[in-house]
Amino acid sequence: MPYTQPDLSEILSNEQTLNTNLVKAQTRLRAILDKEEIGYTQGDGVIPLIRKLPVPVPTTIEWNCYDSWLTYSGPQTGKRSTDGYPVVRDQHGDYIPDVPVTVRRKPISGGSWSNYGSYLSSNDRIDLYPDANRGGYIYEVYVTANPSVSMQLSLPQYWFNYCRDEYDDYAFYEVLDTANPLISVNVKSIDTSYLSYGTNYFYVTANAAGELLLAIPLKNAPTIVGANSNTNVYIGYEVTRGNAAYSDGALGLGGGMVGNGSRNSMGVFLNSSDGDFITTYGNTFYFNPRDCGFTVSGQSSECVVRIPGGSSGAYTYYENADGTISEYAGYWYASQLGTRYGPCLVVYKNKATANERIKVTIKYIKASCP
């Protein structure tokens, strides 16, 4: 075959590129060894330097997982899964991709571990689904080759859940029975059209000037009467305290239980300056505002209505986000509200104007059912 004269300039260019890359590789390898305090000689080439490199050791593992509320079944179901992404890191905190990991779980209430699956870290998405265990699970992920490198995540499960955040489905319109209010005083109309578009607010319009009161029952809520005290319905709000006195006008948002004839209990959180809570008492409304410390002027605070189960229903508790402040609403010892009974959301305005359109914003509605 014929001989072809090589292009010496191309060979020289390739050799120069190769030498440049080798020098860069040597510099990077030496930097790694310096960081690890591993000795080497200046004459070591790339291969000897590579042989001195330390092996990354899986040292820590973490769950990158949103700690979601999960619901199992029924028309009230809002969030049926959440995703977990385990990340394994070495002794320097650098992540190591594609490390085999194992996930197992056990009931939060107690029990033995069961295997959930095997995955690769930083690669596989782990779908966590609820089941008939209403108490939820502790999920543990660990390095398969070294189970001592592990991390746990407690994930509650609920059979009733409407949350409002960027991870959850928005379905408040399915849980509020606005067509059949338990109490409707000075209410001209209720507009929930916005809820069907994924928002977390609706509007109530006052009929005339004066006090407005509305109690909307929750659809598909777990049974409260006759249930044990571990059954709880929660209604959460973000309340920002203003600087107008209650006597000048205040909006109240809350909830309670209404209609069983002997144990009615309601209360609301206020946005006024001289009180942040009002409640029912005896056989009438005793709307005397109190400052319980739920809110701080100019700041947004999470305020929670907790409606627990009991033999005939129990006190409704009103709490801050971490439960360090807790007040209860007194019973309404009469049957003024009729025979229907159930948890409800409450809207109150002490000095509404005629045709005033009141915006009601909800943070979440959820429940735990043992």
- One pLDDT digit (tens) per residue for the chain, 370 residues: 677 777 777 777 778 887 788 778 778 878 777 777 778 788 787 788 777 777 788 999 998 886 666 777 655 566 678 888 999 999 888 889 899 999 999 998 889 999 999 999 988 889 998 888 877 899 999 999 999 999 998 887 766 665 544 444 445 767 788 888 888 899 999 998 877 666 788 999 999 999 999 989 888 776 666 666 677 888 999 999 998 899 999 999 999 887 655 557 889 999 999 999 998 764 455 567 889 999 999 999 999 999 887 655 567 899 998 889 998 887 654 444 445 667 889 999 999 999 999 999 998 888 776 5
Residues 6 or more apart whose Cβ sits within 8 Å of residue 288: 278
**128/116 Cα distance (integer angstroms):** 9
Give residue limits of the domains in the chain.
12-52, 60-158, 160-368
The whole-number pLDDT of residue 284 equals 53
Residue 319 CA, distance from chain mean position: 17
Q: How far apart are CA 304 and CA 323, in angstroms?
A: 9
β-bridge partners, 329: 316
Q: Say which DSSP state 179 is in.
A: T
Backbone Cα Rg of the chain: 31
Q: What is the dihedral of CA 64, 69, 70, 71, to 10 degrees?
A: -170
Report residue 292 as tokens.
Answer: 């319980």
Outline where DSSP puts E strands in 74-173: 82-89, 95-96, 100-107, 114-120, 126-128, 137-143, 146-155, 157-158, 160-163
Domain 160-368 classified CATH 2.30.30? no
Residue 345 CA to residue 173 CA, distance in Å, equals 13
- For residue 283, the model assigns a pLDDT of 47
Query: What is the pLDDT at residue 73?
Result: 67
What pLDDT is recorded for position 333? 47
**Nearest residue to 350 (alpha-carbon basis) of 289, 283, 298:** 289
**Which one-letter DSSP state was computed for residue 298?**
T
Which of the 8 DSSP states describes residue 255?
E
> Would you call 219 exposed, middle or buried from its count of C-beta atoms within 10 A (0-12, 13-18, 19+)?
middle
What three-state secondary structure class fits 239?
strand
Please name every residue paired with 270 in a beta bridge, in sequence order, or none if there are none: 252
CATH placement of domain 60-158: 2.60.40.1930
Helix (H, G, I), strand (E, B) or coil at 36: helix
pLDDT at 360: 95
Q: Which two tokens stand for residue 288?
A: 């005397």
CB–CB of 221/342 below 8 Å?
A: yes
Angstrom distance (rounded) from CA 178 to CA 196: 13
For 160, the token pair is 């009733």
Cα separation, 345 vs 365, whole angstroms:
9
Q: Which residues contact 60 (CB under 8 A, 6 or more apart)?
A: 88, 89, 93, 149, 151
Q: Are the CB atoms for 238 and 302 separated by under 8 Å?
A: yes
Distance, CA of 313 to chain centre: 27
Q: How far apart, in whole angstroms, are the C-alpha atoms of residue 169 and residue 345?
A: 20
* CATH topology match: 60-158 vs 160-368: no
Residue 301: predicted pLDDT: 94
Q: What is the largest CA-CA distance in the chain?
A: 112
